Structure 1
Amino acid sequence: MTPRPTGPELPRIHAALSAFHRRQAARVVEFPGGFAALDDRYTHSRGNNHLLVDGSTDPEALPERAEELLGHLPYRLVYVIDDEVAAACRGPLERAGYTHAAIYLMRHTGPVPAHGGARHVGLEELRAPASEAWHRFVPGISDEQVHHLVERRAARLGAAEDVRFLAVYTEDGEVASWADLYLDPTAGVARIEDLVTAEKHLGQGHAGRVVDTALHLAAEAGCDLRFLSANKAKWPHRWYGRKGFAVVDTVHCFEKA
């Protein structure tokens, strides 16, 4: 079982997740126990077109609900935040052809690092390196798909009170590593996401500098709760552990292509 933090931290993280998906959506469709976050500008982006279940819902109705709300897309994606709700939904969704994956929510529990030297950059500065990275991550991906996945950052500018895209540069002026930082000082919560390092700059400490900068800026903004998400099945969550992050919960992801 995933360890949980004491006190009010976990509800704050869950609230931040729901708010993130609502704020960046072009339109939101409510249903009992959750909502659909949709954006027709980026139909190739699962991060912009999905269901998020953040309360009690009817598990048997969920597959049909996904068809109704996501039927215009070539995929169906459903996030379920609560473990017990996810356990109830798993059977109906798997019978409908969905596969399950677990995403760790990891809270920073270590000391706040010094500023790592990453800069606050704009969309245009990340466009080329992010496009190259997507072609590396998904061989055979189309130019249209890459365009949606790169340009969706424009929607993410509205996903928090203060959104910053951070990047570390090489001495030659190339973008080496980058990430998104979402700050909500009113709630005291910060989220770090989409940490990427350009292939030729891997293993040189650039990602660590980006994370250090993000954590430093979050603390500076008064965000005492700092977290990120990481796929349970992949290695980065172990690297984050060495950077002072600890698993505090699991979000359940159900997908059908």
Structure 2
Amino acid sequence: MHLSTPEQVHLPAGRLFPGRRDLVLPVVDPARLADPVRWAPGVPGDPPDVRFPHLHGPLPTSAVVAVVPYRPPADPVLPRPDDALGRALALSLSLRTRRAAEVRDVPGGIAVLDPRFRYSRDDNRLVLTVPPDAGTVARTAAEVAADAGWPHLAATLTGPGADDVARELAGRGWRAEELLVMARPATPAPPGRRAEPVDQREVHESSGSARGGATCRRPRRRWTSWWPSSSGGSTATPVLAAALNRAADRGCDLVVLEADAIDWPRHWYARRGFEPVGSVREVSAPRAQAGATTDSSR
């Protein structure tokens, strides 16, 4: 299996997939490979002094520590195997990018869009890994929202300066939240009540009735719900146990989640082995606020 170092990946990517910006890079930890890796020349056209790593055997999923979107000319940021925060952020960015109906380049990152679910802030927002100044974030969100018909402005901010940008946007009337990124080893959960997956469509109507008869604006048909297989007691413990067991069964070494930094669930997760490894900022505002926001940022 042909592999590449981070400095080499543009060579096979450009040769095999010229012009494509919807690729992903599986990040492989060489220490987790059971079969030998040998270095050999590439193909005609590659620099003659360059040697590429080749895996002589199957690539186990347990050796892949992250999957990172590859959108040249930007250089991909590849997390180290021991960087829990970096791996968690790579997972979040990868999932948002891969499930988006459209991805646009914006200052400091990307905008993900899905016109089928324009009321969903998960599916329609900016994802900024290098946030520019607050004024640029506000203007960019307003421009994309106006073009795409979003009823809201929303952005996820990570990386250097995210806290300052979120704080300034909060001063302009945006809602700003801190989400703790929490992680724990993917070891099996203790024996107890079980949960089983249920297709979201089977519980969508009941979810709507729980909101007083309101209809969800975004039927999450690509997602799965978990429900206890026996009645009584809290649903949280068996659902978490099922997720941990599934991760362990598939050879994962790390489980990550996000929890509101000022709400009680973070303590519940901490009692179950999750430790904070960092945080992200999420900011949002009604689109009706866009005019005032952009005016004040000029």
Tell me: CA distance 1:239–1:27, structure 2 relative to 1, closer, same or farther (3 Å): same
Residue 154 in structure 1 maps to residue 217 in structure 2: no
Which residue pairs with 1:235 in the alignment?
Answer: 264
The alignment's TM-score, normalised by the length of structure 1, stands at 0.70
Specify the alignment match of 1:77 in structure 2.
Answer: 154
Equivalent position amino acid for 1:128 in 2: E
CA distance in 2, matches of 1:19, 1:27: 13
Provide, for residues 13-43 of structure 1, a one-character-per-residue CA deviation record: whole Å limited to 9, x for no partner.
Answer: 1110101111221111112321111111112
Most deviating of 35-44 and 105-114: 105-114
Residue 129 of structure 1: aligned partner: 206
Distance 2:97 2:88 in 1: 14
1:63 and 1:92 in contact (8 A); partners too: no
- What aligned pairs does 1:16-95 form with structure 2 within 5 A after superposition? 16-71=91-146, 72-82=149-159, 84-90=160-166, 92-94=168-170
Which amino acid is 1:249 matched to? G
Contact 2:131 2:157 in 1 (8 A): no
Moved more, 86-95 or 68-77: 86-95
Whether the aligned pair in 2 keeps the contact of 1:105 and 1:249 (CA below 8 Å) is: yes
Greater displacement, 85-94 / 237-246:
85-94
Find out whether 1:209 has 2:238 as its counterpart. Answer: yes
CA contact (8 A) 2:208 2:214 kept: no
Q: Output the CA distance in 1 between the equivalents of 2:85 and 2:184.
A: 13
SS in structure 2 opposite 1:223?
Answer: coil
Match of 2:182 among 95, 106, 109: 106
- Maintained 8 Å contact 2:112/2:126: yes
Q: Which runs of 5+ in 1 are unaligned?
A: 157-163, 172-200
Q: Show the counterpart of 1:168.
A: 228
- Offset of 1:169 from its aligned partner? 3.3
Q: State the 1:252 CA deviation.
A: 0.3
Q: Displacement, 1:56? A: 5.0
Whether the 8 Å CA contact 1:98–1:256 is kept in 2: the answer is yes
Question: Which structure shows the higher helix fraction?
Answer: 1
Contact residue 102 and residue 114 of structure 2 kept, 8 A? yes
Q: Is the 8 A contact 2:186 2:247 kept in 1?
A: no
Work out which structure has the larger RCO, using CA pairs closer than 8 Å and 6 or more positions apart in sequence. 1
What does the per-residue CA deviation read over 1:116-166, in whole Å, with 9 as the maximum and x for residues that have no partner? 522132232222333244x16xxxx843xx1x23x1x2245xxxxxxx543
Q: State the Cα distance separating 1:95 from its structure 2 match.
A: 5.1
Shift of 1:256: 0.9
For the aligned residues, what is the CA RMSD? 2.6
Deviation, structure 1 residue 246: 1.3
Which residue does 1:256 correspond to in 2?
Answer: 285
Amino acid in structure 2 at the alignment position of 1:25: A
Structure 2: 5+ residue stretches without partners? 1-79, 287-298
Count of aligned pairs: 204
Q: Percent identity?
A: 25
Q: Aligned partners of 2:259, 2:123: CA distance in 1, in Å? A: 18
Q: Is the 8 A contact 1:118 1:210 kept in 2?
A: yes
Distance in 1 (alpha carbons) for counterparts of 2:214 and 2:194: 34
AA matched with 2:178: A
How far did residue 73 of structure 1 move?
2.1
Matched, 1:97 2:157: no
Counterpart among 119, 138, 146 of residue 196 in structure 2: 119
